[in-house]
A and B are shown apart, each in its own frame.
Chain A
Amino acid sequence: MNAAALYFVNGMESETSAIARGLRRRDPDLLDRLIEQYQHRLLRYLTYLTGHRELAEDLFQETWIRVLERGHQYDGKHEFSTWLFSVARHLCIDSMRKKNPVSLDGLLDDSNDARAPLDPVDIRPSALEVIAQHEHADRINAALTGIAAEYREAVVLRFQEGLTLDEIAAVTGAPLGTIKSRLYRGLNLLMPLLKGAQA
């Protein structure tokens, strides 16, 4: 490992160690900062996982409460985002089990009309641009929710959140081979669905 890479790894370790120490102390300022830092990534993951914006927002809050309660379980040796997504995923599964005692695929069983569109960021564009953005987001949302949740999760974690395959395996608790298979199949299923929905 060269010096730059070593410096980067040491820097990352000290940052995750600092997070772990803060979580053990239940430091509210640290939690405020983490909520700010991971707000978009966590909400995006939960929204794509559940397919429901409102449910995702509820789970977003519950995830941070769980992080506060179980923060001492984070060891600081791995990326915080990996642990955070894992916590969120467990909450999501618990929530769906309470609602409907089926597997993660059960997320797809709900009727489409109950599904809120995934709102793009409000950057104050013109009305036509807003409509186009919403339509574009709706098409991508429809394509993503059209594939099984386990494939969707792998694709979102890999290509939106930028997690490595090992990290996705850690989040989902699935073997690496399964993750590779889900990613490959998920991408192949998405391709025809996303045709014509390109940005």
Chain B
Amino acid sequence: MTRDPHQQAQEWIALTGVDGLGLDDAQHSQLQTHLRECDSCREYAEATGQVIRSLRSVPMAATPVLVRRTQARVRQHAQLLRQQRERLWMVGVACAGIGFSAAVTLPLMWRVFSWLGAWAGVSNPVWETGFTVFVIAPALLVSVLLLVRGTHVTDASGRWQH
């Protein structure tokens, strides 16, 4: 089934503008031939050209104030992101340090508690419980203190507090 040549021509005009840029050579030639022969499609092409000229005739500019304000906001935000990244990096280094320290000291502390348990004559579950409390007590204490002070690392939307 062949397409209606008028509709085809009008679609090409609408999609590419009046100059037909974007059509291949055969389509361009076909369109030009059709426009020479068809008054209604030529009128459509002229109307399209007028619409496009109208659209392009309204220059709309961003004000210098808007541009400066945007640039300032972007720079400020970039600074904020940099600080966040540095903070995260420091937290990461601290976590790595703590992890390393824990890996080194925990076996030693385990031995110390074991020796203390034997020396004091208490059963294994007792000194093991003491060891567990000793290990998690600092973290528990800090968590309770932060909760009491109402301090949170992030706000309600999950953003970092500064």
Contacts and interface: CB of A to CB of B under 8 A. Distances in A.
Interface of A: 26, 28, 31-32, 35-36, 39-40, 42-44, 47, 57, 60-61, 64-65, 68-69, 118-122, 136-137, 140-141, 144, 155-156, 159-160, 164-165, 180, 183-184, 187-188, 190-191, 194, 197-199
A187 B52 CA distance: 9
A42 B112 CA distance: 68
Main secondary structure of the interface of A (DSSP, over half): helix
Interface of B: 10-11, 14-15, 17, 22, 47-48, 50-62, 66-67, 69-71, 73-75, 77-78, 81-82
Given A64-B70, A65-B74, A137-B58, A183 B53 contact: no
Contact of B54 (A47, A156, A197): A197
B7 to A, nearest CB: 9
11 contacts: A28-B75, A60-B62, A61-B66, A61-B70, A65-B74, A68-B77, A120-B58, A140-B55, A140-B58, A159-B17, A198-B53
Given A197-B54, A198-B53, A187 B73 contact: no
A136 B60 CA distance: 12
B28 to A, nearest CB: 16
B66 A64 contact: no
A28 B55 CA distance: 33
Contact of A121 (B51, B54, B55, B59): B59
Contacts of B47: 191
B67 A39 contact: yes
A191 B81 contact: no
Given A40-B60, A61-B73, A199 B53 contact: yes
